[in-house]
Amino acid sequence: MTEISSPDQVHGVAVAGSEPAQSQLNLGTLERHDDISPEDFYTKYFKPRRPVVFRSFSKAWPAREQWTLDYFREAHGDIMVPVYEEAFADSGAAYGASDDRMPFREYLDLIEAGPTRKRLFLFNIFKHAPELCGDFDFPRFAPKWARRHPFMFFGGQGSHVDAHFDVDMSHVFLTQFHGTKRVVLYGPEWSNHLYRHKFTVSHNVDLGNPDFDRYPRLADAKGYECILEDGDTVYMPSGYWHYVYYETGGFSLALRSPITGPAGRMHMLYRVLALTVGDYSMTKLLGQKRWYAKKEEMAQRKADRLP
């Protein structure tokens, strides 16, 4: 849900069948509200940074009725869209590059037909169709919004986005329109239990098929799980790890509230510099494979030292 330039920012690897192993992970169920006021939301969830699922976020949006697969196919089907697959995590010049481009309508036909690994990731359709911005607003559930950066996410049944947290440290409001997603969340306090790689916002753990022999401290991490259906919005606080699995083909819209205050901005700047300068420099120095192995080794050592 942030711009990416390397697999350690957001792995983004879509593999059919990588459904979160909720029976093995230590996951609680997120609280849900059909209707909550902006004032209550701020006090109970935004200020203390507690994730939650609620439905009042998008209740006034024309997009709720208008945005369907058929609508996008008919009104905007000629847009050429970047499609991502496994190669999204390749090294070298392929960092952040899409695997393919195709007309939007062909992609929508693909995800409607059945399981597929192909996804649209951080898709800013609003650059191509700015009139769509009139179909939603930025509700009073956050004090500030990144109004220039709404992003859409489309995926086929069985695809997933590997666990990561966003490098800009924004609060994310992810609203589901079509289809069903499973979202797994962990707070930033569990980063060492999740074996985070140095300088990055990601790790090597597959939450869809966790290897507890290799990553034993993962079992101690306490996270949350929710199922998103049409009309649901999940609030993901700044710094939260998130793993998304498409139970069916579908799409969602992410609105972002930037982190505020001097300390928050410094943290965001550190994360961006660590990723774009630190990780990139070490990759150039040691080579992709050697540096990746070193990060994995350091993550293992740090987890082994946990009390």
> What is the DSSP secondary-structure string of 51-67?
-EEESGGGTT-THHHH-
| Average pLDDT of the residues in 3-15 | 34
- Residue in 193, 198, 162 with CA at minimum distance from that of residue 286: 198
Residues 113-117: what's their mean pLDDT?
A: 92
Is pLDDT at 122 greater than 70 in this prediction? Answer: yes
Q: Which two tokens stand for residue 139?
A: 């509700």
Q: Which DSSP category does 44 fall into?
A: I
Q: Is residue 15 in some structural domain?
A: no
Q: How confident is the model at residue 20 (pLDDT cuts 50, 70, 90)?
A: low
C-alpha 195: how far from chain center: 18
The number of residues making up the chain comes to 307
Kindly compute the dihedral angle of the four CA atoms of residues 227, 232, 237, 238, in this order, to the nearest 10 degrees.
100
Total structural domains within the chain: 1
- Which residues lie closer than 8 Å to 158 by C-beta, 6 or more apart? 15, 16, 17, 18, 19, 115, 116, 117, 246
Position 255 in a domain: yes
What's the confidence (pLDDT) of residue 10?
Answer: 34
**Would residue 80 count as lying in a domain?**
yes
The answer to whether residue 138 is domain-embedded is yes
Averaged pLDDT score across all residues of the chain: 89
What are 221-265's pLDDT values in tens digits?
Answer: 999 999 999 999 999 999 999 999 999 999 999 999 999 888 888
What's the one-letter identity of residue 155?
G
As a whole number of angstroms, the longest Cα–Cα distance in the chain is 57
Tens digits of residue pLDDT in 26-72: 999 999 999 999 999 999 999 999 999 999 999 999 999 999 999 99
34's tokens: 């059909």
Residue 289 gets which letter from DSSP? H
| 1 in a structural domain | no
> Using CA atoms, how far apart are residues 273 and 266, in angstroms rounded to an integer?
10
Per-residue model confidence as pLDDT tens digits over 129-171: 999 999 999 999 999 999 999 999 999 999 999 999 999 999 9
In a domain, 215, yes or no: yes
Sorting pLDDT into bands at 50, 70 and 90, what band is 276? confident
| DSSP helix/strand/coil, 18 | coil
Structural domain contains residue 205? yes
CATH number of the structural domain spanning residue 253: 2.60.120.650
Residue 13 lies in a domain: no
> pTM for the full model?
0.88
* CB of 223 closer than 8 Å to CB of 28: yes
Q: DSSP character for 187?
A: -
Domain extent at residue 259 = 26-304
pLDDT of residue 98: 55
Q: Among residues 7, 205, 10, which one has the least CA distance to residue 89? A: 7
How confident is the model over 281-287, as a mean pLDDT?
95
